[in-house]
Amino acid sequence: MQDRDKALVIGGTCASMMQMKAVEKFCRSVILQRNHGHMLKRWDSFTEALEYEDFHLLLKQIKRKLPEDRAIEMLEELDYQCPVRKSDHDSNESFAAAVLGIEHKWLMENFGDED
């Protein structure tokens, strides 16, 4: 699994736990676009996946292969600077969208609830 997908699995899981459904759906969609056979295909969402031990084993494996210090090191090697400030956003979902490099409006139009 590519490092990008590993990071998206962690991000989608966090989004699920924080009840940011649109971010969760976006992360799952991006992963499945390039990896049609990914384990996430079994479930309709990260929220559902979190109910299964198989998914927890995948998370454990990802955290072992891409620990936080390695992820930070990779960002530093790429000279990545995140200009996004949480204080500039009125919601966690808006902030997460900005960090992902997508417009919050687009995220909601494409992955928000239809309710």
Cα separation of 103 and 42, whole Å?
28
Full residue range of the structural domain in which residue 76 is found: 3-111
| Per-range mean pLDDT, top range of 16-20, 61-65, 67-71 | 16-20
Q: How far is the C-alpha of 10 from the C-alpha of 60, rounded, in Å?
A: 10
113 vs 7, 20, 21, 53, 108, CA distance in Å? 24, 11, 8, 27, 8
Nearest CA among 18, 43, 3, 17 for reference residue 28: 43
> How far, in Å, CA of 41 to CA of 3, rounded?
18
Residue 48 pLDDT: 97
Q: Is the pLDDT of residue 41 over 60?
A: yes
What's the predicted TM-score (pTM) here? Answer: 0.87
Q: How many domains is the chain built from?
A: 1
